[in-house]
Amino acid sequence: MRIGISCYPTYGGSGIVATELAMALAARGDEVHVISYALPSRLSLLNSRIFFHEVVTPTYPLFDNFPPYSLALTTKMVEVARHAPLDVLHVHYAIPNAVSAVLAREIMAPQPLPVVTTLHGTDVTLVGNDPNYLETTRWGVNQSDAVTAVSESLRRTTVEQLGTRSEIHVIPNFIDPARFEAARQFAGARRWAQKGERLLVHISNFRPVKRVLDVIATFERVQKQVPARLLMVGDGPDRGKVEQYCREHHICGSITFIGSLPLVEEVLVGADLFLLPSESESFGLAALEAMSCAVPVIAAAAGGLPEVVDDGVTGFLRPVGDVEGMAAAALRLLGDEDLRRRMGEEGRRQAVERFSQDAVVTRYRALYEKVTGLP
């Protein structure tokens, strides 16, 4: 099957999942065409069945302030669909990818181009719920031939906020167990540890919804009781705010800012705990990646996180903003090595059994077959 995949190329969950899906499909024998404005951070072109198509937005004086990316994206979708030719177009994120894909399908008619849209979270809860985009988002979702959401929580939210009439299939995010198993032979997070330090890790895009200052506040409470270091992985708008707080409170020596990494297992392996106090998470891919590295997760009981983290079994969930509760949970685990190890290993087991790449990719492939009628 010839499959088009359109996504954002950044380190966010939607781009990562789309990229991993593209590579997995190509490994199975499908021909995959990735369409975006830049090469996605994790995309490898070593497989000859993967092709990348860059969307270039022309610059004209009329468009200096508002380049029409969505139209350039539509045009590139049509171009690839005609000349590949594509059997199905799978878009990740509703705005503008789903809308552009539906428009491309209309341009392609009568040649069929089924559109599958995967919703990842902020395309519904933040961007899609903005009155400036609401009607367009709803239209793109309703006009898709099939719609998926990465969690049951996001499915419910989509129905409530968009009032969509489309059936929404819940297909979760996934991990490649072999990749994370291979990483366990390396030092990982221990590279940054000084003698006697326990290692806590946070990974995000440093947006306000991630509540990165709660990460720092939790760590401060832990560090008063246990020698510890915090590894902050990622980048984004709130990083400067966090760095300023660390300088003002003289804790910079115990916090290491690593920046964005395409392979997060290089930091997660060997860590003692993973912190994710987000105000909202449609799924919590970073939590799943931590579990895949046998690292217990302490997170907010928000959005799709309770569908990933088994409270009291693979980590602890606390209410959003409950810094004291998260710090107490962290200290409990750091003070009981047997419990911490059991939770880590159970997290690894659940990640492999519930969210393995083979099982999830098979579900996407079955959906393609349903909308195209092709094997």
Helix (H), strand (E), coil (C) string for 219-285: HHHHHCCCCEEEEEEECCCCHHHHHHHHHHCCCHHHEEEEECCCCCHHHHCCCCEEEECCCCCCCCH
Residue 29, SS3 per DSSP? coil
Over residues 49-68, the pLDDT tens digits come to: 999 999 998 887 777 777 78
Q: Residue 273: name the closest of 311, 302, 221, 316 by CA.
A: 316
Averages of pLDDT over runs of 10 residues in the chain (375 residues) are 94 85 97 96 91 91 80 97 97 93 97 96 75 88 96 94 89 93 86 92 94 97 96 94 93 92 90 96 95 97 97 98 98 97 97 96 97 92
pLDDT tens profile 137-151:
999 999 999 999 999
DSSP alpha helix (H) spans, the chain: 13-28, 69-83, 99-108, 122-125, 134-143, 152-162, 177-183, 212-223, 239-248, 265-268, 285-292, 323-334, 337-354, 357-372
| Structural domains for the chain | 2-174+356-372 (3.40.50.2000), 177-354 (3.40.50.2000)
Average pLDDT, the chain: 93
